[in-house]
Chains A and B, each alone.
Chain A
């Protein structure tokens, strides 16, 4: 018993945390050994973040105890956690944008003399840490000016500066390029070698298999089990996570591309945040029967490109041709006659959250003869159509067609949008991050739908930030970097590493048909 206790640096025993109407953590036990990388795996809503928030003092559990080195401790707020040596890199960084990197690191743990800041000592300490772990940061730069990858290193340095020995990483790789992910993995292993203990929250199986020693799986707030990473594989982990056998790889026949459906020439879309073009002289074609993927790190003009294509924003130059018709300046409604659009932000654009499911399912079609007579909505027809879509696309909701969209789960909200857009049967489907934030089961379903549409001869234009998705789903990849297309790749012939180089702007193809290069 004694040896067990000293082996575990943190023990969370039988933690139960309830929110009104829902048990987010139901009798969960997690034991973190000294010097290990322990992955916490689960779908969205499995309770991972809640559990970590309990450990970090943000929530108080109803039941259960937390022990450090075998001694029971009470963590009432993040300050208690810090005092116990627990540090956390949140999924959304907690940095002050207008402060310098150094100020951010020492914030809350400043060394002072008679009330005056002693930044010199702090600077020396941070520099030493940065050197030792190869965490390169510019201490004098403002956070708003540095890359996301560097911001994450700032967060890590914050933990090290506070001499934390238990490090929590909440979905740390979501915002990084493949190269940065590799660096992070190396750093994490280095920490573990030095005896620090790491809790690594993720739903990406590749990364978990690559770095972690043990994996604890949660599902719907319940503890499923803890396994050694070396005794398991991706498939069995995902089965544990979802609770049923899951198809990890997208199965699809080779694409049979037909005629071009969408032709984009020299498209420019101005940026809202700076004076340059967010989309700068982009040209490409999307053909019938293929899934064309626009890959890239978030914020390289993908959003603006799609807005320019769908009409949500005005383009400032170039031409867009859809099914042989110039739609460069057409209205959104007009473009919608030949194009369906699964939007990036399902709450902002995809749904009217305070409308019922059935009302949302006819968002573009309420004016069709079928759904109205002389301006009066034909309720029965809408209800019937909604019922049909709900059944066909397996959209689950509390009260069927009359459920408020707001009360539906993220996955089912997305399914509703997909049902609506796919059922409009347009030659071009624009799908922007269609699986973002969804669990494995829903992703499997949505991928299947997109492949089915491709096989029906539709052109699918996919924008994705998930490399796995890019590699497995697409038939052709275009990489976007700083508003330009910098590479065209074949997913069968390229590697994630090569893709990463293009995404980071380190590599660039000379795409001859691009006239506006370098403008």
Chain B
């Protein structure tokens, strides 16, 4: 019986993986088609460059540049792969954020706002604590936790509004996103101290966290190298020339933690029960309102942590001036989660895949006359398809609600007959 159950689960799992792979393949194919068309109709491109572009789209991550004769060379590109992992770090976390909420039946489109609040808190703590006040790792940890906490609090707002007033979380999330955007702009504008004035070429940037608040000649100034940054743990040796740091390991650990939380704990059980059937959860005495708020708080904390890990790397800067766009990393958590079918472990891989597309875009720009926006087309196609596959799955399960008969193999004998009868009545 056990074995039977497992093979079924595996089957369901493989189905999901197949659906995701299919949407990826179609996305890449559409991107290639675009490359081909542009290549054929452009004067300074041609069939040969189109073919290069297509190969880059599929295998760009393994490209090592061009050789003396000008043809593409392939192999292990430590810089590309390292940067892929670096960029995947926040994506994995925002992906987790979306998927946790989704398992509780909530659509967290508020990840960008939570990410921004996380950014603000992380930078304020990392840059606000004098580097002599405590050891660097402690500042790092405080900044990281502060970012997660700020995200959690920001996530709570739509959660509370949903739980207490039954206002749709999507609306509340969209509003809190923009409130966050303006709040963060205002914060860095008003406080002034965090604005990068050391490097004259840079206006409207906040200091990297590598800058530490230091007392020089009786005045607080920011000195490069005195600040905090995420440890490399030797990853920079493996992936030389890249920005990668231990943040990716933290992200993977968090993903495993989320997996354990959702599958092994009573809290995860409650969250999933609320998501799968809020009425039944309430009936059983589970506090559905508390769980909705909690789920959004966890989602917010994950988005906040995404921002914390990104900006604590030490070599990333936050551009704050007249901030009007929401960070794409927040929104990209949605396709990452969709593509992984909300599986926390799957999110690790889909997060890496999305950042890989990013790298591929850069390769296209650097090596060919194409530009990186082609990868945006690929991402959009994949998002569409993964959303569609979810839609199709939802339609299938909705039908199954009416007639579980379709799943004859999974059930005992008298089961399906009831449902067929029902189907008959409804038709």
**Is there contact, CB below 8 Å, between B420 and A19?**
yes
Min C-beta distance of B52 to chain A, whole Å: 47
A366 at the interface (CB under 8 A from B): yes
**Is there contact, CB below 8 Å, between B266 and A377?**
yes
Min C-beta distance of A377 to chain B, whole Å: 6
B253 at the interface (CB under 8 A from A): no
For A221, give the chain B residue with the smallest CB separation.
B417
Q: Which residues of the other chain, A, contact B266 by a CB distance below 8 angstroms?
A: 366-367, 372, 375-377
**Is there contact, CB below 8 Å, between A407 and B417?**
no
Q: Which residues of the other chain, A, contact B70 by a CB distance below 8 angstroms?
A: none
- 1/0 per position for A374-408, CB-CB distance to B under 8 A? 01110000000000000000001111111110111
A234 at the interface (CB under 8 A from B): no
Q: Which residues of the other chain, A, contact B282 by a CB distance below 8 angstroms?
A: 312, 332, 349
Q: Which residues of the other chain, A, contact B284 by a CB distance below 8 angstroms?
A: 332, 336, 363-364
Residues of B381-427 contacting chain A, CB below 8 A: 400-401, 403-425, 427
- A408 with B415, Cβ < 8 A, contacts A352-B277, A377-B265 known: yes
- A406 with B269, Cβ < 8 A, contacts A312-B282, A397-B412, A399-B4 known: no
Q: Which residues of the other chain, B, contact A348 by a CB distance below 8 angstroms?
A: 277, 279-280
- A407 with B425, Cβ < 8 A, contacts A45-B414, A312-B283, A363-B273 known: no
Distance between Cα atoms of A400 and B8 in the complex (Å): 13
**Is there contact, CB below 8 Å, between B276 and A352?**
yes
**Is there contact, CB below 8 Å, between B265 and A375?**
yes
Q: Which residues of the other chain, B, contact A221 by a CB distance below 8 angstroms?
A: 417
**Is there contact, CB below 8 Å, between B276 and A354?**
yes
**Is there contact, CB below 8 Å, between A21 and B408?**
yes
B75 at the interface (CB under 8 A from A): no
Of the candidates B1, B280, B415, B427, which one forms a contact with A349 in the assembled complex, judged by CB atoms under 8 Å apart? B280
A254 at the interface (CB under 8 A from B): no
Residues of B262-276 contacting chain A, CB below 8 A: 264-267, 269-270, 272-273, 276
Of the candidates A59, A333, A343, A408, which one forms a contact with B424 in the assembled complex, judged by CB atoms under 8 Å apart? A59
Distance between Cα atoms of A401 and B401 in the complex (Å): 20
**Is there contact, CB below 8 Å, between A397 and B411?**
yes
Distance between Cα atoms of A414 and B289 in the complex (Å): 27
Distance between Cα atoms of A333 and B286 in the complex (Å): 7
**Is there contact, CB below 8 Å, between A45 and B269?**
no
**Is there contact, CB below 8 Å, between B417 and A49?**
no
Of the candidates B265, B267, B283, B415, which one forms a contact with A332 in the assembled complex, judged by CB atoms under 8 Å apart? B283
Contact-residue size bin, chain A (C-beta under 8 Å from the other chain): 35 or more
Min C-beta distance of A81 to chain B, whole Å: 13
- A349 with B279, Cβ < 8 A, contacts A53-B424, A91-B425 known: yes
**Is there contact, CB below 8 Å, between A398 and B412?**
yes
A44 at the interface (CB under 8 A from B): yes
Min C-beta distance of A220 to chain B, whole Å: 6
B38 at the interface (CB under 8 A from A): no
**Is there contact, CB below 8 Å, between A352 and B273?**
yes
**Is there contact, CB below 8 Å, between B264 and A359?**
no
**Is there contact, CB below 8 Å, between B414 and A406?**
no
Q: Which residues of the other chain, A, contact B425 by a CB distance below 8 angstroms?
A: 49, 53, 90-92, 170
**Is there contact, CB below 8 Å, between B421 and A50?**
yes
Of the candidates A47, A396, A406, A437, which one forms a contact with B417 in the assembled complex, judged by CB atoms under 8 Å apart? A47
Q: Which residues of the other chain, B, contact A372 by a CB distance below 8 angstroms?
A: 266
Min C-beta distance of A112 to chain B, whole Å: 29
Distance between Cα atoms of A20 and B420 in the complex (Å): 10
Residues of A281-331 contacting chain B, CB below 8 A: 310, 312, 331
**Is there contact, CB below 8 Å, between B420 and A24?**
yes
**Is there contact, CB below 8 Å, between A402 and B285?**
no
B5 at the interface (CB under 8 A from A): yes
- Some 29 contacts from A to B, beta carbons below 8 A apart, are A19-B405, A24-B420, A24-B421, A24-B424, A45-B417, A53-B424, A58-B424, A220-B417, A312-B283, A332-B283, A332-B285, A333-B285, A333-B286, A348-B280, A349-B279, A353-B401, A354-B277, A367-B266, A399-B1, A399-B8, A400-B1, A402-B2, A404-B410, A407-B404, A407-B415, A408-B411, A408-B412, A410-B415, A412-B414
A45-B418, A399-B4, A409-B414 known, 19 other contacts, Cβ within 8 Å: A22-B405, A22-B416, A24-B417, A47-B421, A49-B425, A92-B425, A220-B414, A312-B283, A353-B277, A353-B401, A354-B276, A363-B280, A366-B270, A372-B266, A397-B412, A400-B1, A412-B414, A437-B418, A439-B414
